[in-house]
Amino acid sequence: MARIRFVLFMLFLSSLGVKGQQAEKYLSHPLPAGWQEQDAMFQQALPVDDHWWKVFEDVTLDSLIRVAVKQNPSALMAMNRMDMAKANLRIMRAGYYPSLSLDAGWSRQQTSGNTGTGQSQSRVGYFDAGVKMSWQADVFGAIRQRVKAQKESFAASREEYNATMVSLCAEVASAYFNLREAQQELGVLQRNALSQKAVVEITEVRYNTGLVSKLDVAQAKSVYYSTLASIPSVESGIIQYTNALAVLLGLYPQDVASSLENSHPLPDYIEPVEVGVPGQLLLRRPDVRAAERQVNAQAALLGASKSDWLPSFFLNGSLGYASHDMKDLTKRSSMTWSIAPSISWTIFNGGQRLNAVKLQRAQLDETINRFNNTVLTAVQEVDNAMSSYRNSIKQIVACREMVNQGKEAFKLSLDLYKQGLSPFQNVLDAQRSLLSYENALVQAQGYSLICLVQMYQALGGGW
């Protein structure tokens, strides 16, 4: 009966062991054949795998990511966790080998002569030295399965490290684009402030010559000072984004401020993106691969818990020397040895093994459900990022036309006002609108870049 149970158990284990490319068997539903967003902006070629940020052709961004990869604290902690998992794997593999110990010593004892046993008082002393060995034979694979579980856990820690690096590169790129966006917004405010100051001077000239009332001057100044009042908050945002980048790089803010203080235009990137197909996420996204490894590890632990139902075989032995006199310790006649094979089979332990198997099976089901949830989330994130990027491109196109028309409206209204053919209110409206339009364009460009970064991250872009 035990032999039949062992065979069934090994068949069950073989059905659980899977490779990374066979992760589909864990899916509760097949992955869709394509994405919801299907247009010319997205191609079903294999996405760029390494250094996706180089498409922006920004050397500053390239250098920031290189520094972050080397010394970001979160990345270093992920590497530490990977080293710990590797050490645990080596500890578990030690179960394959026997345990050896060396013992040596000297003892001396005296027996009582007044215990009523008829023996006289005596003293005995001897020297001994020897090697002891203990080894558990892995007949039914309990150790092997636990080693396999730890091996899969180590592989999962490597994938978690990769996921940390993918996330880190995306965070650095996002913080960098937020910084550049804030700097561009500051430039928009400063340019509009200069333009509005010129309008104030025009109204003052016209007021001094008696062509308009002082109301025009007051209204022009209100718009001008409103723009100036917006500058400090943007400058504060620039400092905050710089500090955020410094933390991601594992540096202090003063170490990076000088290299980022000069404004730099946002990359003008509006290109088709290679996204592949949903099924490729199983091979590309580190979090999906890590979830799969965790399922494999839990399956191995379930197999190990089942093997605990079967007997364990041990081999113990020793070899050494013992002698009353030190000079006789290494003689052949002083040699001692023993060998003791044994078997241990727990017949009853209050249902502990049965419930241990149930626990491992429930944990396996949990990791499978977690894997499915990870895959569903991955597909959702890619679809969301694709939709956001596509619509952000539409927004940029509309904002550019909006800015062009705003500039034209401001120019025409100012010319008509100078000629006395239009009220000053038209100039005020045109000023406010132009500032709003230019800010909207900068924000749309920054948002589009963030969406693109999020899409590369969702696709599991390599670092």
For position 38, which CATH number holds? 1.20.1600.10
Task: For residue 118, give the 3-state DSSP assignment.
Answer: coil
Evaluate whether 154 touches 89 at the Cβ level (below 8 Å).
yes
Return the pLDDT at 121.
Answer: 65
Note down the domain range covering 190.
2-94+140-309+353-458
Residue 110 lies in a domain: no
Residue 253 lies in a domain: yes
For the entire predicted model, the pTM comes to 0.80
Evaluate whether 320 touches 103 at the Cβ level (below 8 Å).
yes
Helix (DSSP H) and strand (DSSP E) numbers for the chain:
10, 6
Return the pLDDT at 119.
Answer: 67
Please tell me the total count of domains within the chain: 1
The 10 Å CB-count burial string (b at 16+, else e) for 375-394 is beebbebbbbbbebbbebbe
H or E element at residue 100? strand 99-111
Beta strand 273-274 pairing with 42-43: parallel
Give residues with Cβ within 8 angstroms of 341, minimum separation 6.
313, 314, 315, 316
From first to last of the 463 residues of the chain, give the pLDDT tens digit.
333 333 333 333 333 333 434 566 677 666 765 666 665 555 544 444 568 888 888 899 999 999 998 999 988 999 999 999 999 899 889 888 899 999 888 888 877 767 666 666 677 777 888 899 998 888 888 889 999 999 999 999 998 998 898 899 999 999 999 999 999 999 999 999 999 899 989 889 888 888 878 888 898 999 999 999 999 999 999 999 999 999 999 999 888 888 888 888 888 877 767 666 667 777 778 888 899 999 999 999 998 898 888 898 898 999 888 888 888 788 888 888 889 898 988 888 888 888 989 998 999 999 999 999 988 888 888 888 888 888 898 899 999 999 999 999 999 999 998 888 888 889 888 999 999 999 999 999 999 999 989 988 888 876 5
Q: In what order do the strands lie in the sheet with 99-111?
A: 99-111, 122-137, 312-323, 335-344
Task: For residue 450, give the 3-state DSSP assignment.
Answer: helix
Return the pLDDT at 49.
Answer: 52
Residue 339 lies in a domain: no
Residue 132 lies in a domain: no
CB atoms inside a 10 Å sphere around CB 310: 18
H or E element at residue 16? helix 2-16
Residue 100 lies in a domain: no
Q: How many CA atoms lie within 13 A of 456 on its CB side?
A: 28
Residue 394 lies in a domain: yes
Return the pLDDT at 29.
Answer: 67
C-alpha to C-alpha distance for 123 and 173, rounded to whole angstroms: 82
State the distance between the two ends of the chain, measured CA to CA, in whole angstroms: 54
Residue 213: what are its φ and ψ, rounded to 5°?
Answer: -85, 170
Smallest CA-to-CA distance from 399 within 447, 431, 453 is with 447
CA 167 from centroid of its chain's CA atoms: 5
Q: Looking at beta carbons, which pairs linking 326-334 to residues 24 or more positions away fall under 8 Å? A: 326/127, 329/127, 329/128, 329/129
C-alpha to C-alpha distance for 400 and 405, rounded to whole angstroms: 9
Return the pLDDT at 401.
Answer: 94
CB atoms inside a 10 Å sphere around CB 430: 21
Residue 244 lies in a domain: yes
Two tokens, residue 85: 């998992």
Two tokens, residue 430: 């045109």
Residue 438 to residues 191, 261, 449: CA-CA distances in angstroms? 10, 22, 17
CB atoms inside a 10 Å sphere around CB 204: 16
Residue 338 lies in a domain: no
